[in-house]
Every structure is written in C-alpha cells, then in structure tokens.
Structure 1
Amino acid sequence: MVKGLSEHDYQQITDFYNQRFQEKGHDIASVGWRDKASQWLRFDMLFRDYNPKGKVILDVGCGFGDLYAFLTQQCGDDFHYIGIDISSELINEAKKKYNQTNADFFVGDLFSIADFTQKDIDYAVESGMLSFKLENNDEYAKQIMDEMFTLSKEGVALNFLTDQVDYQLEKNHHYAMQDVLLWARALSSDFALFHDYPLWEFTVKIMKRR
C-alpha cells in the first residue's frame, strides 16, 4: 500500500491553501479556522493531560505554526517545535512569524519527515489537517495516525470532524468515532477520546505504554 496522499489530492490541497493565502493573506481564515478562541480550544484538547515542557513537539499540517505561540504561553521557551505542512506559502509565513531557535519549519508531508529532522520526537499532534475531503479519507487518516505514533516516543493527539452533525460542507470529511477508536486501540491500550467541548469534532489521544 502506498503511503500518503495521491498526486491528485496533494496538488488539490496545496493549490487550495496557497490560493486561500493569496486571497486572505496571513489570516486565521486562510487555514480554515473561525477565530483564535476555537483554534486555541483545539490546542487545549490536544495537550489535555500532557505537559509539553522540555519536549520535542511535532505539529503535522502546521499551517502558520500558531501552535508555537500556544506552547510558548504554556512553557516559555522550554520546548522544541517542529512544524510541517505541504503548503509552501503557509510555511514561508510561519518561518517569518516564529523565527526562533527552538522552532523548525519544513515543507513536506509526514512520510518524509526523516528527510527534514534528526530530532527525536516526544509528542506529535494534528489539528484540522484531516478534514479536507480526499479520495480515501479513512485510509489516509489511519496512515497518518500510525505514522505519528511510530515516530513519537510518548504519544500523539489528533482531532477529527464528527459525523454526528446536522449538515456537512461538501469540501469536508466527517469521521465516525467508533472507527477512529478502533484505529487507536490497535496502537495502544492507553487512549482517550474527548468529545466534551463545544465544537463539532472530537480529539483522540494515544499514549505509549512504558
């Protein structure tokens, strides 16, 4: 099985976000978020019951890298952030905004991260990257979860749009919670699903047993 996006999906997503950036500039709407409050609520869920202080954090589909600001608020500069995204426009902006010694940004996908960094990753997160409708969303999302878990020493957290909604936008894919839980359970018995926050989505955290 080929890992990662098909050539068609890769081009479709990069074109979509690069064009959004050209239209909206460095704005939270360019990466699909309604406002900073909801974006940071997602970050809170990703780091629920996990302390990033002193850790190497991988942000998959990082957009403008705004998770870096969240982590700074949580633990000063005592962490190392690695952001990757397939949109060159978004990564270029992230490099300008968060030009710090404890931050690295790369254009590329998760399956080529070894080409970018030699750092050991403690915890990997994904926020919103898996919502775009693809040729095979479930297969790709499971590949992403598996790869993140393999790369991380301690664990991962990912969020997904829930299928428990009244309507769905044509460009989005919504996930069944029971399917995602099965993927998580196949990786570790130490997992949790959070659905207790006021957004139409859920967050899964999977930790490695020590």
Structure 2
Amino acid sequence: MPKIDNKTFYSSAIEMYGITAKGVNWHSKESQNLRFEIILEMLPEVMSDFSVADAGCGFGDLYLYMQKKRRVPKEYIGIDTLVDMYSIASERTGCEIVVADICKDSLPSADFYICSGAMNVLNDFETHLFMQNCFRTCRVGFLFNVLYGDKRSETYNYLTKTKIDKIAADLGVAEVIFRDDYLQDDVTVMFKKSL
C-alpha cells in the first residue's frame, strides 16, 4: 500500500497554494531551489550534451531553474502521474511531458534521470521500483533527493544510507555519490552506470 494517496496529496496542495513550491508540497521556494542547486552541482557542467528525464516533474520547476542557471539539457522530458501536473508543466516549459506511473510504466530513455522529492511519499517497495525503473532506463546516471534518516512517518518516506546502499547493490550501480551537507534530513544521491 502507498503511504498516502498521491493524487490527493498533490491535488489538495495545488488547490491550497497554486503553482508554487508549496503547491508541490515543498516547505519553501528557497529549499526547493537549494535542492535544485545541489542537483546541478552533481551534473556535468555542460548539460547541452545530455538529455534529462525529470521523474515526478510536477510543474516543471527543475527545467525552469536549469534555464535560469543557463544549464539547459539537450533534451528535457518531464514525467508525472497527475494530469494536472502534465498540463501545467507542458505550458510552463514548452517541453515534452509524459503522463506515466514511474513504478509501473515503460519510460522514455534519457542520459540522466532526475527525481527531486517525488519519492518522499512512497513506501519502501514503491521506492525500490521507482529507483529500479529510473536507473535501468537512464544511460549515464540516476540523480535523486529524498528525505534522509531513520525517522518513522505515516506520510513521509525517510531513507538511510544503508537502505540506499542496499538498493544500489541490488541494481548493480557502478558508483554511488552522496551529498548530505545542505539541509537537515535531506540527501542527494547519484547512481552512476559504468560507461
């Protein structure tokens, strides 16, 4: 069973906060941007050589942030399960947005798969499936941020380094890079493939 109903979780936030960081259940625009900045620091400097799939793209904020920082990829594909997100992200980014369940559906190929926060409300089984599908579909690496630690929550999904390392081992990840020096209870991780 999912930790919570994903559709209700996001739809109620959109209704309450609109097309803002809080509308996709981030604490603030500043914390969302800090997570995006860490993602950019872990990606190649020249993104124009690479394609990116944004797993759980929400409103397309990651793409807009990449645009602002002049780090736009060769191709950007947003993926989200919610039709509301699809419509908003399509309009805001002008990029290809796909409606898909990342845990179950066939995914478009990309050099990098990126997920910022979309796994925070999944259960352990769904998290493993999500990571597995993203890592198997990417050509270079899967970069994600999640809530970090051994806290128990009825709503949120916290992962420990031990859990992340075990998933990486199960998936045959060639290299795992951790960044946990930017926000309390948050980690950004790169699963790299051997090239």
TM-score for the superposition, normalised by structure 1: 0.81
Give the distance between the partners of 2:29 and 2:174, measured in 1 at CA: 33
1:43 is aligned to 36
The DSSP-based 3-state class of the residue aligned with 1:182 is: helix
1:70 is aligned to 65
The amino acid of 2:131's aligned partner reads: M
| Unmatched 5+ stretches in structure 2 | none
Give the distance between the partners of 1:59 and 1:112, measured in 2 at CA: 15
- Tell me how far 1:70 sits from its aligned partner: 1.8
The DSSP-based 3-state class of the residue aligned with 1:112 is: coil
Of 100, 124, 131 in structure 2, the residue corresponding to residue 138 of structure 1 is 124
Give matches, 1:39-188, under 5 Å: 39-51=32-44, 52-75=47-70, 77-99=72-94, 103-110=95-102, 111-114=104-107, 117=108, 120-132=109-121, 134=122, 137-163=123-149, 170-186=154-170, 187-188=172-173
Give the distance between the partners of 1:108 and 1:11, measured in 2 at CA: 18
Paired-residue identity, %? 24
Report if the CA contact (8 A) 2:13-2:25 is conserved. no
Give the distance between the partners of 1:140 and 1:146, measured in 2 at CA: 10
Give the distance between the partners of 1:176 and 1:78, measured in 2 at CA: 30
Give the distance between the partners of 1:11 and 1:163, measured in 2 at CA: 20
Report if the CA contact (8 A) 1:21-1:90 is conserved. no
| Unmatched 5+ stretches in structure 1 | 1-5
The DSSP-based 3-state class of the residue aligned with 1:198 is: coil
Give the distance between the partners of 1:93 and 1:105, measured in 2 at CA: 10
2:10 is aligned to 17
TM-score for the superposition, normalised by structure 2: 0.87
Report if the CA contact (8 A) 1:193-1:203 is conserved. yes
The DSSP-based 3-state class of the residue aligned with 1:196 is: coil
- Tell me how far 1:23 sits from its aligned partner: 2.6
The amino acid of 1:126's aligned partner reads: C
2:190 is aligned to 205
Residues 177-200 of structure 1 deviation map (CA, whole Å, 9 limit, x = unaligned): 211112123322311111111232
Give the distance between the partners of 1:157 and 1:77, measured in 2 at CA: 16
2:23 is aligned to 30
Structure 1 residues 189 and 78, CA gap change in structure 2 (3 angstroms): closer
- Tell me how far 1:42 sits from its aligned partner: 1.0
2:176 is the counterpart of 1:191? yes
Task: Pick the structure with greater CA Rg.
Answer: 1
- Tell me how far 1:113 sits from its aligned partner: 4.0
Report if the CA contact (8 A) 1:61-1:83 is conserved. yes
- Tell me how far 1:91 sits from its aligned partner: 1.9
Structure 1 residues 140 and 11, CA gap change in structure 2 (3 angstroms): closer
The DSSP-based 3-state class of the residue aligned with 2:158 is: coil
